[in-house]
A and B are shown apart, each in its own frame.
Chain A
Amino acid sequence: MTTKTHETEIDIDREVPLVRITRDFDAPPEKVFRAHTDPDLVMKWLGPRSLQMRVGHFDCRTGGSYRYKHVRGTEEFGFHGSFHEVRPSELIVQTFTFDGQPDEVALERIVFTDLGDGRTRLTSTSLVDSFAARDAFVASGMEVGIREGYERLDEVLAGSD
């Protein structure tokens, strides 16, 4: 099998505070779905490479819930949420909350579209209740280089009188 690299597309919606990520995979929907629901598999890809992922529990079924941590040395970033709707090989609707901000919640919708020929399009949207929260969320995805990014922005902002 040739290893094709597919482009990950990001859509930062301007009208609604959501982020949409689209990506194709060379695997059928059942497999891609299983990689999202089996915690042993989820652990291997979900967290940033620089962090270790520890799963508290991961009960991926309608009405279930999850809790996990990303750990780096003494630093811990915990997350939890509920699985609102789980439909095998089709759909996962879940909530997502950073333990550090328990009042903030994102509504995530992961759609597995069968492209045929053993391929799947994964469309993942995260909806929050304000643009500020969405943007903080976009920024938090950038584990690496966030500080550098802020410094750069500070520089640019300082330069523009």
Chain B
Amino acid sequence: MGADPLSRVFAALADPTRRDMVGRLAAGDATVNELARPYNVTVQAVSKHLKVLADAGLVSRGKDGQRRPVHLEAEVFDLMTKWIERYRREAEDRYRRLDDILAAMPDATGQGESPSTSTTYQKGSSS
């Protein structure tokens, strides 16, 4: 389990079959056999996909005897959504600062078009 939790969730959902399975589980719990049915794959292949989803915390297995239905952990899903929202807010903050800079910049349409675009860099300070 080297990867961080977020990466496990994203990686689990990177596969189209697993996303499809998650979509079906969103409608309700299902057994491994039920999940395998619509795909041209073996129960073993489905079990492999489920293990990836379970390791990411996205699904759990019920304790209902032999059936052991698969259950989607909606909370983990929601959390991922929140994570993306945070990333969005970071970008939003950055661009609001850019809004301020742009508002403070003189209009460069006139003759004063400053050639300073890339002259300010100091050469030689990189290692």
Contacts and interface: CB of A to CB of B under 8 A. Distances in A.
Interface of A: 1, 3, 5-10, 12, 14, 19, 21, 23, 25-27, 30-32, 34-35, 37-41, 44-46, 48-49, 55-61, 64-67, 80, 122, 131-132, 134-136, 138-139, 141-145, 149-150, 152-154, 156-157, 159-161
B10 A135 contact: yes
B101 A132 contact: no
A142 B83 contact: yes
Interface of B: 3-7, 9-11, 13-14, 19, 57, 60, 73, 75-76, 79, 82-84, 86-88, 90-103, 105, 107-109, 116-118, 120-126
B14 A8 contact: no
A139 B121 contact: no
Main secondary structure of the interface of A (DSSP, over half): mixed
19 contacts: A1-B103, A3-B103, A5-B96, A12-B84, A26-B99, A39-B120, A45-B95, A45-B101, A48-B94, A57-B122, A57-B123, A132-B10, A132-B11, A143-B90, A149-B82, A154-B5, A156-B73, A156-B75, A157-B57
Given A8-B92, A60-B118, A141 B87 contact: yes
Given A27-B102, A30-B108, A134-B10, A64 B75 contact: no
Interface of B is mostly: helix
A40 B120 contact: yes
A33 B99 CA distance: 13
A31 B6 contact: no
Contacts of A157: 5, 57, 76
